[in-house]
Structure 1
Amino acid sequence: MNKALLSFSILLLLTITASCSGVSADKSSEQSSEAAAAEIGSPQITFFTVETEQIADRVSLNGRLRAENRVELFPEVPGKVVEGTKPFREGVSFQEREMLVQLDDSEARLQIQSSRSKFKTLVSALMPDIKLDYPETLPRYEKWFNSLNAENNLVAIPEFGEGVRRYLESKGVYELYYTIKSAEDRLEKFTIRAPFSGVLSAAKAEPGQVVGPQFHLGTFVDSSLMILNASIDPAQVEWIRPGMTMAVSNQGQTESYKAEIVRVNPSVDSSSQQVLIYLEVSGEKLREGMYLEGEIESETKRELARIPKSALLRTGGVLAKRDGNLVDVTVEIHDLERSHLWVSGLQNGDEIVMDVSEPVSGRIINYSHL
């Protein structure tokens, strides 16, 4: 009986020892698995869920404003600049046909007055012959003679008939007449007038300064009509056409203006390999040289996704969740924003890594969600 009791005690002891060893082994295995899982899932990856949209193609445009009506002022005759009715200074406005610059024309004016006086003397000397040979023409001839004045521009020679015309030509009347008319035209060039209503954007002449035909007096612009000169890639110009409208704004995004494409250059600029387009911009507070930028949309659309810039790899792809791994998926960039990109190559609902500074392609990820 003692032997049987001893055998039973030994058997019980062995059973308890085996059970304890099994529990300890299970706990160690579980702890190892948890540690491995914790190592694999740390640090926690933040994913961005892709949502695709039908987006029109966009082209970013930027450039500087330039007045459509712009005149560089150069005198056609030499002379001394005299004080005008308005100061010749930047920012001064002038109406159409108003005097911009006046050059001293006193000497030229006196010469013309002398020539007009000689012309009237010649016409008077021929009156007796006209009275004798062409009596029917005399009343009209006298009326024309009385209209001549050394202070005013010559009145055009009337049509007296072929005979009288030949007679006047033989006496040098027509030759002197055209010489004086040429001098009168030249006299007008001493006064430079505004070709349109506008403002001086540059003024380099001072009263008393002697200037000549090669001297740049200044620049006169029409500030009511501004053109934005912009350039785009030749591949994007196919759907750009005159009449398309867009909004443009200044660099600080504080002012917005309406712009319309009015011209598209058919040639590619040899230096930049870009195509120039010209937009008419309307609005207040527009100034020459102002930098404006904006975007224009096409009529056709494509499926694009808006993703954070931080999700883009240096290789030009993103890390997307694929079967428990992070896979490098190539995307094509179509547009840029300050902190986001518009790309193609992703499907709606795809999950991509929001910040690629830590994850590595091929890494096993932790699927637990908090």
Structure 2
Amino acid sequence: MDKRKIILSVLGVLLIVFAVFAANAIIDSKEQPKPTPKKTVKTVFVDTIQNSTVSINIPANGNLVAKRRVELYAEVQGVFRYSAKPFKPGQAYKRGQTLLKIDASEYEASVQSAKSDLYNQITAIMPDLRLDYPEIFEKWQEYLNNFDVNSSVSPLPEAANDKERYFINGRGINTAYYNIKNLEQRLVKYRITAAFDGVLTEALVTEGTLIRNGQKLGEFIDPDIYELQVSIAKEYADLLKIDEKVSLTNNSETKTYSGRVSRVNAKIDQATQTVNVFIEVKNSSLKEGMYLQANLDAKEEENAIEIDRSLVNDRNEIFAVNDSILKSIEVNPVYFSDKRVVIKGVPDGEVILTRQVSGAYNGMRVKIAGEESATSGNNDNPDKDTENIEE
């Protein structure tokens, strides 16, 4: 029995070893088919080049500011007593209407007192004029008769000669007169009037408020004319002309306005290297502070084309298609915008890509989208990148 078990055990081991070697032989004898590489031909969209004159438009934006605006400040002190209309934001005033009148009763009394003093001084010299200067007495008598303390002081009679001038100055008449004119000028500052037809956009005081010297009272603007200040790169500043027409659109691009270049600053901002350009625009629907976008016609570039900016690589090259093979063309970009670029140096008749192709390189085989549609006849997705597979 022991020999029989030993023999069976040895046979079992040999059988297992034989089975392993047989299996390995079968595996090694089986040939693995090599996968055939697939060559992908991408579909591209192209356009045939025809150089022409391209208008370079410079986009810019900014906020509207009223061309005529006045910040109201008090030059005197007193209580706000009167306004021709309610002194509130949005209130319209006509030219010459009283925007704000400060109580000046105390100051008016001092002006009246000064006028009365001048009247008394002139009256005091009349006897001397009658005796010593009868030839000038009549004109001073007429001035005295027309003197009204409740009205603005009229100019003094002109001196006929040096003798009269010395006499009048020696009595202090001229000094008293100019002191009154100074007081009258200050009295005018108690009343602020509208310099033009406009709207009150800011009101910081109400009737009965005590106003102090130097206090801001509000803002007054003309709502008919606005200016848009935009910043333009310095290289285009010389291309802009005064009175040049400008197209303006609102932020949502639902409305278009027409403006003109009214001013171009002669100074370049050193921090941004830009020049401020002011565009004048008139429209009843505009409001101060509105955000507008402007398109300025800077220049016209001849023998150029305008394409998508993404088609020009960092080496200033674009791809063209020649017999279904991509080739690069070196170009000269003359203007870049956010999405477009104006380039020169592409010959007429060249077929260039109109959409960017990922992984494009010189010698790459491609298929033109239009030609493929004509041959296949059933292409439902022209934007598909992998349209043809060669074995």
2:112 maps to what in 1?
113
- TM normalised by structure 1 equals 0.77
Alpha carbons of 1:250 and 1:128: their partners in 2 closer, same or farther (altered >3 Å)?
same
Calculate percent identity across the aligned residue pairs.
26
Matching residue's letter, 2:272: S
Runs of 4+ in structure 1 off by over 6 angstroms are: none
Which has the higher mean CA deviation after the structures are superposed, 105-114 or 153-162? Answer: 153-162
- CA distance in 2: counterparts of 1:363 and 1:159, whole angstroms: 98
In the TM superposition, residue 153 of structure 1 has moved relative to its aligned partner by: 1.7
1:18 maps to what in 2?
none
Q: 1:63 touches 1:293 (CA, 8 Å); kept in 2?
A: yes
1:224-243 Cα distance to aligned partner (Å, 9 max, x none): 22222122111222322223
1:303 maps to what in 2?
303
Q: 1:57 touches 1:302 (CA, 8 Å); kept in 2?
A: no
Determine if the alignment matches structure 1 residue 175 to structure 2 residue 178.
no
Matching residue's letter, 2:90: G
- CA distance in 2: counterparts of 1:299 and 1:355, whole angstroms: 27
After superposition, residues 205-244 of structure 1 pair within 5 angstroms as 205-244=205-244
- CA distance in 2: counterparts of 1:297 and 1:290, whole angstroms: 22
SS of residue in 2 equivalent to 1:267: strand
After superposition, residues 1-370 of structure 1 pair within 5 angstroms as 39-41=38-40, 44-52=42-50, 53-159=52-158, 161-162=160-161, 163-308=163-308, 311=311, 317-322=317-322, 324-329=324-329, 332=333, 334-336=335-337, 342-356=342-356, 358-361=358-361, 362-366=363-367, 369-370=372-373
Q: 1:50 touches 1:347 (CA, 8 Å); kept in 2?
A: no
SS of residue in 2 equivalent to 1:118: helix
Alpha carbons of 1:136 and 1:366: their partners in 2 closer, same or farther (altered >3 Å)?
closer
In the TM superposition, residue 107 of structure 1 has moved relative to its aligned partner by: 0.5
- CA distance in 2: counterparts of 1:109 and 1:369, whole angstroms: 94
In the TM superposition, residue 247 of structure 1 has moved relative to its aligned partner by: 1.7
Matching residue's letter, 2:82: E
Q: 1:93 touches 1:197 (CA, 8 Å); kept in 2?
A: yes
Gaps of 5+ in 2: 1-33, 374-391
Q: 2:48 touches 2:352 (CA, 8 Å); kept in 1?
A: yes
In the TM superposition, residue 123 of structure 1 has moved relative to its aligned partner by: 2.5
In the TM superposition, residue 103 of structure 1 has moved relative to its aligned partner by: 1.3
1:193-229 Cα distance to aligned partner (Å, 9 max, x none): 2223322222222222233342222222223222221
Which has the higher mean CA deviation after the structures are superposed, 171-180 or 271-280? Answer: 171-180
- CA distance in 2: counterparts of 1:110 and 1:139, whole angstroms: 30
- CA distance in 2: counterparts of 1:82 and 1:317, whole angstroms: 73
In the TM superposition, residue 330 of structure 1 has moved relative to its aligned partner by: 5.3
In the TM superposition, residue 190 of structure 1 has moved relative to its aligned partner by: 1.0
SS of residue in 2 equivalent to 1:108: helix
- CA distance in 1: counterparts of 2:116 and 2:318, whole angstroms: 91
1:142-191 Cα distance to aligned partner (Å, 9 max, x none): 32222122212222222364444433333332222222221111111111
| C-alpha RMSD over aligned residues | 3.1
Number of aligned positions between the proteins? 333
Q: 1:70 touches 1:221 (CA, 8 Å); kept in 2?
A: yes
Q: 2:46 touches 2:355 (CA, 8 Å); kept in 1?
A: no
- CA distance in 2: counterparts of 1:305 and 1:170, whole angstroms: 85
In the TM superposition, residue 141 of structure 1 has moved relative to its aligned partner by: 2.7
Matching residue's letter, 2:101: Q
Alpha carbons of 1:369 and 1:349: their partners in 2 closer, same or farther (altered >3 Å)?
farther
